[in-house]
Amino acid sequence: MPVTPPTDDEIQERFDTIDRWLKAQMAGNPVVDTVEADIHNQRAWYVRLLGDEKEFSTVWLQLRQRTLHAETYFMAAPQENEAELYAYLLRRNARMIGGRFVIGPEEAVYLYCQLDNTIVGIDALPGELDRILGSIYQWVEQFFQPALRIGFASRFRTDSV
């Protein structure tokens, strides 16, 4: 049976739910530093998350007709050990539920997540938003430093004299 995309009213209800949830996170979640609407896209937001291993990550959330898309810049293109870094990230992808590492513009590494609007009901949306942002936060905290040490290994070497 084909799945029909959400109506304009359903998309608006999702938008309003996401917007309210993000405002509540700004007020009560110490990890959420900033939430800003994307001035070029009326259904998108920038969410700045504070971290320990990486000072901050900016997640771009975009409500599309069929999906809620989330992405964040993870790290610059590796300067060395490319194959080792990509193998490391692919192995992480196999254990990550709902997200994946991808190569984006300028060969940089990004984290992508998507939520299917036709499957997740409006009542479950706040919990799924929490899961997506929480997962992105956790993955950055867990995998950023090891990935950096692989892709930029010579900058971490300490040569003893």
CATH value at residue 84: 3.30.1460.10
Asked whether residue 146 is domain-assigned, the answer is: no
93 touches 111 (CB < 8 A) = no
Asked whether residue 103 is domain-assigned, the answer is: yes
For residue 3, what are its two tokens? 């799945």
Asked whether residue 31 is domain-assigned, the answer is: yes
Asked whether residue 38 is domain-assigned, the answer is: yes
Flag whether the pTM goes above 0.75. Answer: yes
When divided into structural domains, the chain yields a total of 1
pLDDT in tens, 26-58: 999 999 999 999 888 889 999 999 999 999 999
* C-beta atoms surrounding 132 within 10 Å: 20
Domain coverage including residue 130? 8-139
Asked whether residue 156 is domain-assigned, the answer is: no
For residue 130, what are its two tokens? 């929490």
